[in-house]
């Protein structure tokens, strides 16, 4: 074997050895990172467990105080006769009001019906008045046209100054 021929294989071996060191270094870094993360996870889990225990203890204490409060409260019993008596009183009052106000309500309803009839009659009269007013205004407008034509032709007396038909203009 000649040394000149050995250069190429030595170069390849150097490259392979360099890559092996790189892989070993990378695996060592990964191992260090995993160990660090493992210890961090253990610390976090312990902290969460401690927090959960504290929260549960606070809830238990709160429930105990509520149970103590319930033990000390007085229990009222329901007496249906009180409700029955109240209902009887209400029925009596409603009957009295209906006896007293019933005829008055009937009178008010009758008067409202009469007022409704009168209002209907007034609305009918107003509609007739509006219609008649439109007719009168149309007549005045026509009369104004006739007067204007008579004035142009000189038939009206010289002092005539009346105007008709311009009421809403």
Flag whether 48 is in a domain: yes
Q: Any idea what the Cα angle at residue 46 is, between residues 42 and 49, rounded to 5°?
A: 135
Do residues 151 and 160 lie in contact, with contact meaning Cβ atoms separated by under 8 Å? yes
| C-alpha distance from residue 151 to each of 117, 142, 143, 165 (Å) | 51, 14, 12, 15
Mean pLDDT of the chain: 82
Evaluate if residue 14 carries a pLDDT over 60: yes
54 pLDDT band, cuts 50/70/90, is confident
Do residues 156 and 147 lie in contact, with contact meaning Cβ atoms separated by under 8 Å? yes
Looking at the structure, tell me whether residues 18 and 63 fall in a common domain: yes
Measured distance CA(78)–CA(28) in Å, rounded: 78
Looking at the structure, tell me whether residues 68 and 15 fall in a common domain: yes
Contacts of 142 (CB under 8 A, 6+ apart): 165
Looking at the structure, tell me whether residues 68 and 112 fall in a common domain: no
pLDDT digits (tens, 9 = 90+) for 99-140: 877 777 788 888 888 899 999 999 999 999 999 998 888 888
Looking at the structure, tell me whether residues 63 and 127 fall in a common domain: no
Flag whether 86 is in a domain: no
Flag whether 147 is in a domain: yes
Do residues 144 and 166 lie in contact, with contact meaning Cβ atoms separated by under 8 Å? yes
Among residues 73, 93, 121, the one where a domain terminates is 73
Contacts of 140 (CB under 8 A, 6+ apart): 164, 165, 167
Looking at the structure, tell me whether residues 69 and 1 fall in a common domain: yes
Flag whether 158 is in a domain: yes
Q: Identify the pLDDT of residue 105.
A: 78
Rounded to two decimals, what is the model's pTM? 0.34
Do residues 150 and 156 lie in contact, with contact meaning Cβ atoms separated by under 8 Å? yes
140 vs 63 pLDDT, higher one: 63
Considering only 38-47, 58-67, 129-138, 157-166, which range has the smallest mean pLDDT?
A: 157-166
Do residues 140 and 159 lie in contact, with contact meaning Cβ atoms separated by under 8 Å? no
Flag whether 88 is in a domain: no
Flag whether 40 is in a domain: yes
**Domain count for the chain:** 2
pLDDT digits (tens, 9 = 90+) for 129-161: 999 998 888 888 888 888 778 878 877 776 666
| Tokens describing residue 9 | 């294989």
Looking at the structure, tell me whether residues 4 and 68 fall in a common domain: yes
Flag whether 99 is in a domain: no
Flag whether 66 is in a domain: yes
**Domain with 7 in it:** 1-73
91 pLDDT band, cuts 50/70/90, is confident
């Amino acid at each position: 074997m000649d040394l000149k021929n050995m250069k190429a294989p030595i170069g390849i071996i150097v490259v392979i050895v360099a890559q092996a060191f790189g892989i070993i270094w990378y695996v060592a870094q990964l191992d260090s990172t995993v160990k660090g993360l493992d210890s961090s996870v253990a610390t976090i889990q312990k902290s969460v467990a401690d927090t959960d225990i504290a929260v549960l203890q606070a809830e238990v204490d709160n429930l105990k105080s509520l149970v103590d409060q319930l033990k000390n409260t007085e229990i009222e019993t329901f007496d249906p006769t009180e409700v029955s008596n109240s209902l009887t009183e209400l029925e009596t009052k409603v009957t009295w009001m209906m006896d007293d106000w019933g005829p008055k309500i009937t009178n008010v309803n009758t008067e409202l019906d009469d007022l409704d009839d009168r209002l209907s009659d007034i609305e009918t009269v107003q509609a007739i008045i509006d219609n008649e007013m439109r007719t009168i205004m149309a007549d005045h407008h026509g009369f104004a046209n006739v007067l204007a034509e008579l004035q142009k032709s000189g038939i009206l007396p010289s002092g005539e100054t009346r105007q008709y038909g311009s009421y809403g203009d």
